[in-house]
Structure 1
Amino acid sequence: MLNWGIDRVLTVTVDNASSNDVGMTYLKKRINNWKGSVLKGIHLHMRCCAHILSLTVKDGLKDVDDSIHRIRSAVRYVRSSNSRMQRFKSCAHEEKLETKKLVCLDLETRWNSTFLMLESTLVFKRAFERLEEEDDKYKVELEKLKGTPNDLDWHYVESLVPFLKIFYDATLKVSGSLYVTSNDLFHIIYGIACKLTKETSSKIESHKSMARRMKAKHDKYWGSFDNINPLVFIAVVLDPRYKLEYVCFALDEVYGIEHGGIWTKDELFESVKGFLEDMFNDYSEMRGVTCESSSRSVGSATPNENDESQSVEDYLKKKFRRKRMEDRVGETTLSELERYLKANLEDDEDITFNILAWWKKHSSEYPILSLMARDVLEIPVSTVASESAFSTGGRVLDAIRSSLTPLVVESLICGQNWLRSSTLPIDMEENFEEIEELEQELKESCLDDCTIMSDLVDDD
């Protein structure tokens, strides 16, 4: 940080490993010594949202491991050769499944690919059942493993896919690096909480069991109002489409006494507003220091208060002017927050709304709040890009990478960031439809090559 000239830090986003707590404590102490934190860095630690979502999904998949394994084996059988794929397509045609999609195989350590596999496979349920009736080898091979997919497996998958869809979309949303994500985290946390709470009362036992397991993991990190970094709330307050009223409404829906929580609506309101005012005052003081420095530089050309050559009248007049200026600044500072909160909300259904452009436009109207928005809205809520956020594998450095010097690690990290920088988002996920087209083109190319070779042999 010293080498990079970083002396002010609002948050640091890291995974939920306990070892990170020690690092955050050390960093907080150092930054406070530099007077480079907001509110003494008490909310420096921002937990990685994508990591928590991945852990939640991993727990939800435990109940249906065997079902997923049987469906994965069925897909692997179909995709193992061209002849098997053609037989499967024939089964789909006979079942009148009019779709251009094909089944895709997943990577077991990437739950998003498992979701895409299950989603694509559901369409072909009847085709797999017909394949089992017509292809004896299919049944024999799968019986050596855990058997062919049964009705209960398909039932589990049908209930699982909607759950995974929620987490899949949420992970893609929070893992972006070219747009603001901090103001979306609040909606994701409480949207998922409400969905899981609803499903825990489902009459379908598989839904209920899965929802309870996922909710237990979700509540471990986000189940308590005190466990969530309040900057998550402030990011929504600084969104002119929602502000403080919406935040308190949503919190009451999840944590309020009327909904099984332990907080009253007034307590939630006062807690969020209190933090908002403390942060606003902190930024006001920081801005005041800047203004004071400017005032000193401007006033240096005029006689100072200790100048014995100035008259008593001038001394008092100057002091009075300074007092009026301070009072006026104080009134503006106090009213800015209230003016923003009382102003009309922007249309939350406007898909073209750009929150950064809005704050840029209103920076002169809300000078202190615009500084807060600039800092809060740039907080990354995920530590990884989307292609890494779906991995359920361990994030452990091997012996070689662990032995790299800090300079080499820094070079690798910065180099990757520079190489991947782009004004357009980079989608690193596999597009299974494109892969199918490429495979088909390759297959046709190979057939053409074989035909040419055969003709050459015949000519000889």
Structure 2
Amino acid sequence: MSSHDNNDDLVDKQVQVQTSVGKKRTETQRSSSDLPSNPRKKLAQSSDIRQYFVPKDDDKESTNGTRNDIGRCELFKAYQETSEQKVSTSGDQDDFQRSVSELIVLSGLPFSFVESEGFRRFCQTVLPMYDDVSQLTVARDIATMYLQEKAFLKVLFSVEIKRVSLTTDIWEAPTTSCSYMVVTAFWIDANWELQKRIISFKPVTDKKGETIARHLIECLDEWGIEKVFTVTVNNAEGNDKALTLFQDAMRLKGANALVKDGDFLRMRCCGDIVNLLVKESMEHVSDSIVAIRNAVKYVQSSSSRLKSFEFRIEMGKVSKCSLSLDCVTEWNSTYLMLVAALKLRVAFEKMLGEDKLYGKYFLEIEEETGKKRVGPPISSTWDEVKRLVGFLRIFFNYTVGSSKSKSAASSNGYSEIATIDSNLIKLSNSVDEEVQKQATSMRGKFEKYWDGLININPLVIVASVFDPRKKMKFASLCFDMLHGKDSLEANHLTSSIRSVMRHLYEEYTMMLNKQSQSDAAATQSNHGGSEQSSDSDGYIRSDYLYKEMIKEMRKEEASKQLDDYLIEKVEPWGLGSDYDVLSWWKRNSSKYPILSELARDVLAIQMSSFAPESAFCTSGRILDPYRSSLTPYITEALICTQQWLQTSLQSEEQLPSLKQMFEELDFQESLDPRKQPEPLVTEV
């Protein structure tokens, strides 16, 4: 009970005494003296425990003061227990508010989530002393988390990371007509695990090359990153000029800021090229796709229509399959819808000839377009879609394969590109003239980006060589398949890739030797000076010749690492499992100390500039309306902190599988001495 409650009780008591005498008066008959002045005002500077030590009226009249003192002590004890409970609940409330902020970050929920009625009722159930968490509180907590994680990453970048590969892309915010430029850094850490961090998500006024280059330089300066290997960008017009300006700016940072003076700096986004080809091929048969989409809508619009369709499936004697609508902006869902619809083509054709409601459905006027609904799909419609599915299958398998790789995706990059090219070559020789025409046109556009060493970055092929299952033999087989066995083009590509690898290896040998020499010089200076190879009068000491011999032996040994790696047998190909290239290099890094450093940087290269979850998106990267309405600083804090926290959660030690737990249980039981077999006893 607080002092405020005592005042209220006092007011009620006085009013009751005054109104109990005589007749009850009306509101107009009451005078100002009947009611106490300012009845709701609290006692100034009064503590909650004051009520336990101020004597009450009944205490003054009582003759047993000791009993009253004991009673007040018991009340004070109860007050202390209540206070401790309030403090504990307050701490729980603070933890709960921080948990709400982390939930907002990790799940991407809008800020308005914390002020929804359902969330309020949930909080009041879980935490009775809950006070409303405002959007301002959430924003403050998110900004605090962002700054803490950013400070930790800056320390990590300055200590552990030697060289990074970057990706950059533009996100659109339709709600505010604003664009955001995202920059992501990739590297392989000391434990040979591929790391990814979004290091910038800032608004840009335009998409010109100068703007993109300036944001890249400012981002690297902010994080203290001095060495860059590659930058993966899409095929936007401004990226060519942006990387030229970026290359000039990086040269000013030092000789080791870029590898081979930035000759291999630009990496084309393969995913963007695939999406462009898919989008263009789907636009040619867009009416046929819409017709089949409307047919699927009709079947799924009611249970009676679905039963009628299933009856046609049984009559047509075709196998059932899941039929679902697609998402217009995700071409993989459109591909799966068309594949399922083609399997049920007979049932749809029976619906067209037998179901009158099915035909009337396509005569209706759509509210969105004000035109008659497209369809129904006829024989030519199905033929067009069948040709399209043959092309989409190639790109679908590539995108799925490149998205599911948890290790170094760049090691499979060239094999996937070669697979696309070989399938397009096969379709260009098809007996169907329409398929042949489309495949020839598509292959011409594909080779515009990935043909030879003029348009393709050689590091794409070098990354496949660093896969111990493939090495140089696999690349040579791809050259023979695409250009003909022992052809001039194939032989030229093979010799060119070997030359690129040797030049890269020599440059890394020089860089690492300089680094080891500088480390040795620093160690000697810390121990009181450097060793002299000759006396002051020019006399050469014998240990000088020994040191020169050691240097020559190291050079000879280093030059053999690349040759030894390429000559050795390839690792067996494990089908049905995701081969971990990085684990192999982790085990063999001591065997190839210099080559492994080159492999570490090459295998961190990214073939696409966007995340795997956006690989099938044809509408570009779009910021949702909730985040578009936030300030740029909070938007960047949300995007970056979400990715950083998710990465930290994934890097935690995973729980053992059920099989591993049973194996561990069997092993523990085998150690139980009570279950050990009894020794044989022989009679003497």
SS at match of 1:10: strand
CA-to-partner distance for each residue in 1:412-433, whole Å, 9 max, x for gaps? 3312313543539xxxxxxxxx
Matched, 1:165 2:356: no
* Equivalent AA in structure 1 for residue 291 of structure 2: R
Comparing 153-162 with 223-232, greater Cα deviation is found at: 153-162
* Equivalent AA in structure 2 for residue 423 of structure 1: Q
Matched, 1:304 2:525: no
CA displacement at 1:361 relative to structure 2: 0.9
* Equivalent AA in structure 1 for residue 431 of structure 2: K
CA displacement at 1:175 relative to structure 2: 3.1
1:144-159 matches, within 5 Å, as 144-159=372-387
Please name the residue that 2:241 is paired with. Answer: 22
Please name the residue that 2:299 is paired with. Answer: 78
Higher strand share: 2
Rate the CA distance shift 1:401–1:181 in 2: closer, same or farther, 3 A. same
CA displacement at 1:227 relative to structure 2: 0.6
CA displacement at 1:408 relative to structure 2: 4.3
SS at match of 2:544: helix
Counterpart of 1:94 (choices 306, 312, 315) is 315
Q: Distance in 1 between matches of 2:630 and 2:459?
A: 35
CA displacement at 1:70 relative to structure 2: 1.4
Counterpart of 1:64 (choices 266, 272, 285) is 285
Please name the residue that 1:120 is paired with. Answer: 340
Matched, 1:34 2:253: yes
CA-to-partner distance for each residue in 1:344-401, whole Å, 9 max, x for gaps? 1111245554211111111111111111111111212112223322122245779998
Q: Distance in 2 between matches of 1:402 and 1:27?
A: 29
Matched, 1:423 2:650: yes
Rate the CA distance shift 1:184–1:403 in 2: closer, same or farther, 3 A. same
Please name the residue that 1:448 is paired with. Answer: none
- Quick check: 1:182–1:235 contact (8 Å CA) kept in 2? yes
Counterpart of 1:211 (choices 410, 418, 439) is 439
SS at match of 1:13: strand
Q: Distance in 1 between matches of 2:646 and 2:349?
A: 45
Please name the residue that 1:385 is paired with. Answer: 611
* Equivalent AA in structure 1 for residue 553 of structure 2: R
1:388-427 matches, within 5 Å, as 388-395=614-621, 407-421=633-647, 423=650
Higher helix share: 1
Comparing 192-201 with 158-167, greater Cα deviation is found at: 158-167
- Quick check: 2:469–2:573 contact (8 Å CA) kept in 1? yes
Rate the CA distance shift 1:415–1:127 in 2: closer, same or farther, 3 A. same
Rate the CA distance shift 1:303–1:210 in 2: closer, same or farther, 3 A. closer
Please name the residue that 2:492 is paired with. Answer: 267
Counterpart of 1:287 (choices 505, 512, 533) is 512
- Quick check: 1:59–1:213 contact (8 Å CA) kept in 2? no
Counterpart of 2:420 (choices 192, 206, 209) is 192
Q: Distance in 1 between matches of 2:620 and 2:308?
A: 38
Please name the residue that 2:501 is paired with. Answer: 276
* Equivalent AA in structure 2 for residue 85 of structure 1: L
CA-to-partner distance for each residue in 1:133-170, whole Å, 9 max, x for gaps? 23212112224333321122222223332321221121
Comparing 82-91 with 404-413, greater Cα deviation is found at: 404-413
- Quick check: 1:57–1:214 contact (8 Å CA) kept in 2? no
Please name the residue that 1:10 is paired with. Answer: 229
- Quick check: 2:295–2:375 contact (8 Å CA) kept in 1? no
CA displacement at 1:116 relative to structure 2: 0.8
CA displacement at 1:306 relative to structure 2: 7.4
Higher relative contact order (CA 8 A, sep 6+): 1
Please name the residue that 1:452 is paired with. Answer: none
Matched, 1:334 2:562: no
* Equivalent AA in structure 2 for residue 363 of structure 1: S
SS at match of 2:431: coil
Matched, 1:179 2:399: no
Rate the CA distance shift 1:115–1:361 in 2: closer, same or farther, 3 A. same
Q: Which runs of 5+ in 1 are unaligned?
A: 425-460
- Quick check: 2:452–2:493 contact (8 Å CA) kept in 1? no
- Quick check: 1:115–1:161 contact (8 Å CA) kept in 2? yes
Q: Which runs of 5+ in 2 are unaligned?
A: 1-219, 364-371, 652-684
Please name the residue that 2:329 is paired with. Answer: 109
Please name the residue that 2:470 is paired with. Answer: 242
* Equivalent AA in structure 1 for residue 532 of structure 2: E
- Quick check: 1:55–1:217 contact (8 Å CA) kept in 2? no
SS at match of 1:172: helix
CA-to-partner distance for each residue in 1:270-305, whole Å, 9 max, x for gaps? 211111111111111111112212332454557632
Q: Distance in 2 between matches of 1:95 and 1:121?
A: 14
Q: Distance in 2 between matches of 1:384 and 1:77?
A: 36
Comparing 211-220 with 292-301, greater Cα deviation is found at: 292-301
Matched, 1:230 2:230: no
- Quick check: 1:109–1:392 contact (8 Å CA) kept in 2? yes
Rg larger in 1 or in 2?
Answer: 2
Q: How many aligned positions are there?
A: 418
Rate the CA distance shift 1:402–1:96 in 2: closer, same or farther, 3 A. closer
TM-score normalised by length of structure 1: 0.83
* Equivalent AA in structure 1 for residue 356 of structure 2: D
* Equivalent AA in structure 2 for residue 276 of structure 1: M
